[in-house]
Structures are given as C-alpha cells and as structure tokens.
Chain A
Amino acid sequence: MSAEILEIVSTLPIPEYLSGEVQSKLAYVDEAILQAQVTPGGERIRLSLAAAPDSEQRSRLEDKVQRVVASMVKGAIKLKVQVLEDHLDRPVPYALDPMEALLARKEVKPEAVGIFAVGPLLSRLIQFFEGLFLELADSFDAAPYRFPTLIPARYLERVNYFRAFPHSLSFVTHLRTDLDAIDHFAQHAACDEHGLNEPLTSFAGIETLLSPAVCYHLYFALADQPLPGGQVVATAVGTCFRYEAINLTSLERLWNFTMREVIFVGAKDFVLQSREIARQRMAAVFEKIGLAYRVESANDPFFIGEFRKQAAFQSAFQLKFEIRARLPFKESTLAVGSYNYHQDFFGRQLNITLPDGSPAHTGCVAFGLERMAFAFLAQYGLEPSGWPEFVRQALA
C-alpha cells in the first residue's frame, strides 16, 4: 500500500530549534497519519497518510496541524542548550544499525508496536548496565524499593500529569464485575485488525494507569508527612510506559521500557549536590565502558498546551540534563538517561515537609536500560570481541 502525501503550509514558520519537538507532537494529530515531517526551513509539514483524504478530512487535518504549530511556536522562547560533558568524539568501532542484526539473530522479537521481547545477549548487557547503576545507588547508600507497575489515576492527577503528558498515558481496566459482562466476553471476545472487539461498555471505569516513571511512587510514599531524618536517598527499578504513537521505533523508543532511578529528597542544596555527584561518578563509569555521549540540558516532552512554558522553565532553571549517547549509524544521539531536579514541586504538591516545615526538594537520576544497551551496541556492534575490555571481562 502506497502512502498518500499531504503537504501543509505552516501559518507560522517553525524555527529549526523547535522542528524536532513539533514533529514529535504531529504524531498525535490524527490516527490517519503514518509519518509526519517538518520540511527543512520549517515552512511546510509533510504528512504521509494511509489513504487520500476527502476535502473534509483534509480541512480537519490542516486545522489540527496548525493548532499544534501555533501552540508550540507562537511566543516560543529559544531554549539555550547547556553542555556539561561532551565525549561524542570518543572513538567507537561500529557504524551500522544494530536493530537489523538483532532481528536477524532473533535477539529481539517484536510483539507489537513499541513492544519487544529481548534475548540472552541483550538481557546480559542490560543486567551488566543495571549492575553499574546499582553501584551508583550503593555509593549513595540508597535504600532499595520495589514499586508497582500500576499507578492510581488520582496519583497522577495530583501531580498534574494529565495536563502535562496526556498523550503518553497508558490506561488499565478490567471487565466489569458483572457475570453477564464476563460471560459475554468469554464467549465472544476475539481480536481483529483494530484489536479486541469487545465494546468499551464491558469494561470498568479507569482507576489505574501503567506507571510512566519510577520516582513518583516514592514521592507518594513520603506524602503528607515530615520527611524522615530530613532527607532520603532511594533506588528502584521499574517498567515504565509512555505511548508515543508513530514515534515508537525499534529499541530507541519503546512503549514499555525499564528504568533504574536513584532518587534524592531533602533540602535544595542536598538534592542539587547529589545530582552533581551522581553525574561525576557516572562520567567515570561511561569512560570505562567507552561510551560516546554528551550531557546537555533538555526538557521533558510536554504536550502542546504546556510545552512552551514548561520547557522554557525547565531550561531556564537547568532542571533537566540528558545523557545523549551517539548513534553512529544515523549521526544522531539518543537519550539513555537523565539528571533531574524538580525544585520543590513534589514537596508542595504532595506535602512532603523538611524539619523546618518548608516543602522538600526532589531530584532523580534515571537510566533507560534498553536504550543504554541499544546505544552501546550501536557503538560497538554485537560481537563481544569488539567490545571494550572492561565490558568483555564483566560479561565473560
């Protein structure tokens, strides 16, 4: 099936620094869109569609695209990129897309869009990186936690997640506790090209979602009380879920992925110093494994209504720095982790108080385990003989 191309002239030129952000949000404009691209120069948007749109569909698509552009571009503040470390030119021997070899070797098995099972090589690598991140956690005497994969909807509501990231939410439900509904499902449920054929009326209301982050669970565990001992360092690993529509590609961007976090809660100076110490300790680790990467300021992928202000705020206050590993096969980079500071946002929202009664500050360092393994393979290939000595020995 060949895709239909629809080109839309943007009412506002899209500056180059916003091009990637706008493009990523165009994925959520309409289910008919297979691919979206902001053309060089930022004057046009090119959509690939499954079928030629009629005039009404075309007009609706254009309206929605212009809404996205207007809300992100109008009054946008150019974000300054601050680079804390730059090791992108660290020599690495591999230049191919590892995904092809991983698929060929059945090291990854696509189960659905953005969902992969991974085999022994990747699993061992992930376990190795997980060990390195745990060593970082141990260096802070971080208390271990285990958090659920599900998170109550009211939790996310309380930290304004619905407004900031509605596009990436993953909802959980179950059949209504009604014998007729369960019987009907058991007898008639089947999957077609659109998924499960059961009507939504068979399902219970949504009280729970799949968790998009690990650290939220800790903040809720500490909510509505004074912070024990005035500060907390914790660590946990968890499966996280962020739906990214047509942006879900290979192991670079998964719907469900694993994240190890080291989380700091306490006074402002404690949190900021801990984040900086973590960055310095990880710089030594990344050197040992030969990772080509850069640490630079970044923003979270806020949805269009919130993006302009929230992203500018994060940038201005240097709240987020990403570890961006080089992907030689596409001359690009991939965020494999981040160093985050939330000021006293969670302290205020969740009433976590310091001994003096003021709201606690929070921060976390987070590592995406699948992405970390993918970036490493993109730089060193699948053959352990080509890996740095330190990695080879650890996995021997």
Chain B
Amino acid sequence: MDNDLQTQTMKRVQAILAEALQVPPDEISPQLAFGDLPQWDSMGHMEVIMRLEESFGIEVNADTIAGLTSVLVICSYLEEQGYVR
C-alpha cells in the first residue's frame, strides 16, 4: 500500500473519530487509544465502530470490536481487510 493511501486512510479515520467522540480533530493523534480520552469510553467506542461501519460500508463483527482500540490498529484493520484501496 502506498504512503499516500495510508495517509488518506489515517486522515479519514481521524476525522471519523473526532466526529464520533465529539472532540477537535487535532486531539486524535495516530497513537491515540481507547481510554486515552474520557470520551473514548464504552459508549464512545461503540459510536466509533458504528461511524466506521457507516463510513466504509462495512460490518464489524463482535470479535473484532474488542480489537479496534487504537487509531493505528483501526487503520491497519481497514487496510488489511481491503476496505480502503
């Protein structure tokens, strides 16, 4: 995967998280993980999952939900599954 695409994915994911967690986009660093912000709690996490599903037209299964706990992991998951190309 080329760097441009990775950067685009990262930006898109950061925007989705900012919207889902209702925080300014500059608070969503690539290293941000579940629990780092008070807004990224259980409810916030499920909001993130649902926004990802809507935005990428995907269905995240129950097994995966527990693993998508950082911005980097979310990006890797989307790329590995071929949801961004």
29 contacts between A and B (CB under 8 A): A75-B50, A77-B49, A77-B60, A77-B61, A77-B65, A78-B61, A79-B62, A80-B62, A80-B63, A308-B46, A309-B43, A309-B46, A309-B47, A309-B50, A310-B42, A310-B43, A312-B62, A312-B65, A313-B65, A314-B42, A316-B63, A317-B42, A317-B66, A318-B66, A344-B35, A345-B41, A348-B35, A348-B38, A348-B41
Do B38 and A316 touch (CB < 8 A)? no
Question: Main SS of chain B's interface residues?
Answer: helix
Which residue of chain B has its CB nearest to the CB of A309? B46
Chain B interface category by residue count: 10 to 19
Beyond known contacts A317-B66, A348-B38: 8 more, CB 8 A cutoff: A77-B62, A78-B62, A310-B42, A313-B42, A313-B43, A313-B46, A316-B62, A316-B63
Interface pairs A-B: 6 shortest CB-CB: A309-B46, A316-B65, A316-B66, A313-B42, A80-B62, A317-B66
Q: Taking A75-B50, A344-B35, A348-B38 as contacts, is the C-beta distance between A306 and B62 under 8 angstroms?
A: no
Is A23 part of the contact surface with B, judged by Cβ < 8 Å?
A: no
Residues of chain A with a CB closer than 8 A to B42's CB: 309-310, 313-314, 317, 343, 345
Interface size on A, residues (CB 8 A): 20
Residues from chain B with a CB closer than 8 A to the CB of A353 are none
Q: Which residues of chain B are near A310, meaning CB under 8 Å?
A: 42-43, 46
Chain A interface residues (CB < 8 Å from chain B): 75, 77-80, 306, 308-310, 312-318, 343-345, 348
- Complex CA–CA separation, A79 to B38 (angstroms): 25
Chain A residues lying within 8 Å of B53, measured Cβ to Cβ, are 75
Residues of A within 8 A of B38 (CB): 348
Chain A residues lying within 8 Å of B62, measured Cβ to Cβ, are 77-80, 312, 315-316
Distance from A250 Cβ to chain B, minimum over Cβ atoms (Å)? 33
CA distance in complex: A343, B45 (Å) = 13
Report the minimal beta-carbon distance from A389 to chain B, rounded to whole angstroms.
Answer: 42
B 19-63 binary contact with A (CB < 8 Å = 1; else 0): 000000000000000010010011101110110010000001111
Cα separation A224 to B41 with both chains bound (whole Å): 20
Q: Report Cα–Cα, A360/B40, bound state, in Å.
A: 17
Q: How far is the CA of A150 from the CA of B62 in the complex (A)?
A: 37
Q: Which of B46, B47, B62, B65 has the most CB of A within 10 A?
A: B62
Q: Which residues of A contact B46 (CB under 8 A)?
A: 308-310, 312-313
Q: Please, how many angstroms separate the alpha-carbon atoms of A318 and B49 in the complex?
A: 17
CB distance from B45 to the nearest CB of A (A): 6
Chain B residues, Cβ within 8 Å of A308: 46
Which interface residue of A308, A312, A318 has the most chain B CB atoms within 10 A?
A: A312
Contact with A along B58-85 (1 / 0, CB 8 A): 0011110110000000000000000000
Roughly how many angstroms separate A308 CA and B47 CA in the complex, as a whole number?
10
User: Most B CB atoms within 10 A — which of A309, A310, A315, A345?
Assistant: A309
Q: Which residue of A lies closest to B54 (CB)?
A: A75
Q: Which residue of A lies closest to B35 (CB)?
A: A344
Report B-chain residues with C-beta under 8 Å of the C-beta of A318: 66
Give bound CA distance, A344 to B63, whole Å.
21
- Chain A residues with Cβ below 8 Å from B49 are 77, 312
A17–B56 Cα distance when bound, in Å, is: 25
The CB with the most chain B CB atoms within 10 A, among A78, A313, A314, A316, is that of A316
Q: Which residue in chain A gives the minimum CB-CB distance to B59?
A: A77
Q: Which residue of A lies closest to B44 (CB)?
A: A309
Nearest CB in chain A: distance from B60 CB, A: 8
